Amino acid sequence: MNFDQLKEQWNNEDGSSVHIPNTIEQLKKSKHPIEKIRKSMKSEFPMQVMAIVLIAFFPQLLHFPSSQYIIYYTSYAMLVVISSYYMYGFYKFYKQTELYTGNTKNSLWKIYHELKLNMERYQSFGFLLLPHFMITLGMEFYKILSKKGMSLENMTDSYQRALIISVLVGTIAIVVNIVLWTKYIYGRQAKHLENILNETDE
């Protein structure tokens, strides 16, 4: 086939059948969910800091015996260390979203994967609060027993069942709430980004 034949074949092609995807427009749409993510993170970060500070005053608010403060604040110190590590990662991800321009698919994939990782980290951080919750619950239960003139040694079967059920229900409630809250705050935006990425693939 010579050049003239190629030229004729090219001219005979139907130009209307050529489809140019609006990839850039699809990527620009992704700035909307990312802006929502940033807004959620910006409002949530100070709330988390305030919650951790408030937890420090639980012994006074719940009127724990001063002899038990050492137990509580040892657990609280571990909580602060874990929280600091998580919040550092939280802040790093927030700063990464500032760099996103919405004009390349690779940058969108990076933000999407970082968001999914941050969601897993968010849930893990919540689950790590469980030991501290158990210690606080145990101290509260011990306080109630002391007021009734009882101790762990002579605790009745009904109190033992109540303690086990309280721990079980409290644990399940915390786990379920952490998962649902994560999906509520970030899940919808992650799904939105995933849909945009699927559109660009198509």
User: 3-class DSSP state for residue 13?
Assistant: coil
* Mean pLDDT within 71-96: 88
Which residue reads 């999906």 in tokens?
183
pLDDT band of residue 174 (cuts 50, 70, 90) is confident
pLDDT band of residue 152 (cuts 50, 70, 90) is low
Instruction: DSSP for 94-145, please give it.
Output: HHHHHH--SS-HHHHHHHHHHHHHHHHHHHHHHHHTHHHHHHHHHHHHHHHH
Q: How many residues make up the chain in this entry?
A: 202
**pLDDT, position 72:** 93
For residue 30, what are its two tokens? 């992704």
pLDDT band of residue 66 (cuts 50, 70, 90) is confident
